[in-house]
Structure 1
């Protein structure tokens, strides 16, 4: 295990958020109800499931690699933006990453547990790197070249290809709430079952996608709706859930205003299970992952002017909520290699600090 990190540097990045995020002590859902990350997480939680020994072995490969090895936490580098957002939009800031080998090098030098990318990227360098860092092969993508743009996740390869590549896990996205979500649920549930049969883990990007979710706020980021997406994700046996950090709540309330009828909800979600504190909102996401039996990793978001501060705050929220780690791409690869490594390490420092505790 890497050496633990002092709190001072983390507090420097948090700045004015320090007291709010590190001083929070009254979550709506107490931590005693959660299955919390820890060095024994595979034995304590995953081993009680129906996952076969080969799946447990590959999950252990992921949890046992990188700077966070042996902690029960994950730091993953995901770079599938060349398809999802276009290569030009993603790599213009740093053209070195048109070469997929540099993606894998960044993950290794950055001390990540695993690297997640496309069939093309990982397949192009598999013989050199698949045995050096766990691969998470992304099965589907939104191709974003159809005009006008449409938002649908389509399969780009097979589970067998990922297995033959030596992958530790497969990854996939479902756009919950979209017109295509039912087909995607069927496709990916079948893909995850096949991956488990072959001994690979399964990581699900549980994203919401529906123009109706944008009203007075962007409820694609609401705790109640993202929480339900997580709950659907663990229902198809995702081992790890990737979700955006919640920024608001009350999606069901907003969508059911003006006499509309959408979904099912209970107002206790907003009174007894959540507050407006970001750690409480994230904890509701964890609760929907079977109280942490499937690990919740939050995404790092787009690159901007305050990447280090935002990344540290997101990591603190995730860890204190009972989450399992961070999966951050653009903030790392859209900058020079040395700075990208530094950003990944700063995220990992949060999980290595014994002073950043679960609330």
Structure 2
């Protein structure tokens, strides 16, 4: 594994971390076709938990097989593969050493009341170590009635993971009674979510791509007074990166619900041009037939390499 100047620069931002955590962060940054560039594309497959098996895999039934997903990530030359405990236990031995693994430690489900904005802890740091993972993943919902409990759960798991030499990936998805649906992806709210994740000590932050909507009245006044440019997606990504310690934290952006290929490529270009570190996309990849998914991921990688 070659450590490039760019990766060394990124690791220098985490100077209080132990060598184990930095080595595992480096593994993710130095794997696949984007190795050494500071860019990342991660395949997450936790949607079966979140949305149910048919909604996740019926569009491409090959996806019912747990092994389909990490093999897709390996064959596409991605940086890492993330999934909850059960799927990780099924695949970890078969892909050991081929791709960095991220064990997602909490999940929600769509059978619960939509008013419940919380997730259950379904895995442990010990599980991540046992399965040879490079990192743990965790979701918080800033703005929910349960957000403080989720943050406290993350604090304990993050401290345990770092002490064991693992990297920490934090999904920061605002939602709750004080936010409108549009507010969940508003510019001010997404930047706030990224900043909170950085303040909580995440090595890698996952947020949604922001719109030009401004949700909070007090924040809107500041954006307008200071003339913060949020006119394009690239500018909005740039502002999210600014909120993540002035770009000194690794931030990847969610692919969201399934969408057309052109929209996926436009998102990748905006992330690249705005200085983001990359994409973490699941349904937009694994719900397509394998050949189409590989072609889509190939083009996304080429965009991050500056070849398109």
Shorter-chain TM-score bucket reads: over 0.9
1:280 paired to 2:244: no
Where in structure 1 are there 5+ consecutive unaligned residues? 2-37, 254-263
* Aligned counterpart, 2:102: 136
TM-score of the aligned structures, taking structure 1 as reference length: 0.81
Q: Tell me if the contact between 2:6 and 2:38 (Cα under 8 Å) persists in the aligned partners.
A: yes
1:164 to partner: Cα distance: 1.3
TM-score of the aligned structures, taking structure 2 as reference length: 0.94
1:280 to partner: Cα distance: 1.6
* Aligned counterpart, 1:316: 269
Distance 2:221 2:253 in 1: 25
* Aligned counterpart, 1:30: none
Q: How does 1:307-346 map to 2 (within 5 A)?
A: 308-346=261-299
Distance 2:195 2:113 in 1: 33
Match of residue 248, structure 1, among 212, 231, 244 = 212
Match of residue 54, structure 1, among 3, 9, 20 = 20
Q: What whole-Å deviation, never above 9, does each CA across 1:70-109 have from its counterpart, x for those lacking one? A: 2111011111001011112111111221211111111111
Q: Tell me if the contact between 1:241 and 1:295 (Cα under 8 Å) persists in the aligned partners.
A: yes
Match of residue 220, structure 1, among 159, 184, 187 = 184
1:47 to partner: Cα distance: 2.8
Q: Tell me if the contact between 1:249 and 1:276 (Cα under 8 Å) persists in the aligned partners.
A: no
1:149 to partner: Cα distance: 6.5
Where in structure 2 are there 5+ consecutive unaligned residues? none
Closer, same or farther: CA 150–133 of 1 in aligned 2, 3 Å = same
Structure with larger RCO (C-alpha < 8 A, sep 6+): 1
Q: How does 1:28-177 map to 2 (within 5 A)?
A: 39-48=4-13, 49-147=15-113, 150-177=116-143
Closer, same or farther: CA 176–299 of 1 in aligned 2, 3 Å = same
1:147 to partner: Cα distance: 4.9
1:118 to partner: Cα distance: 1.0
CA RMSD of aligned residues (A): 1.9
Query: Moved runs in structure 1, 4+ residues, more than 4 A?
Result: none
Q: How does 1:258-277 map to 2 (within 5 A)?
A: 265=219, 267-270=221-224, 271-277=226-232
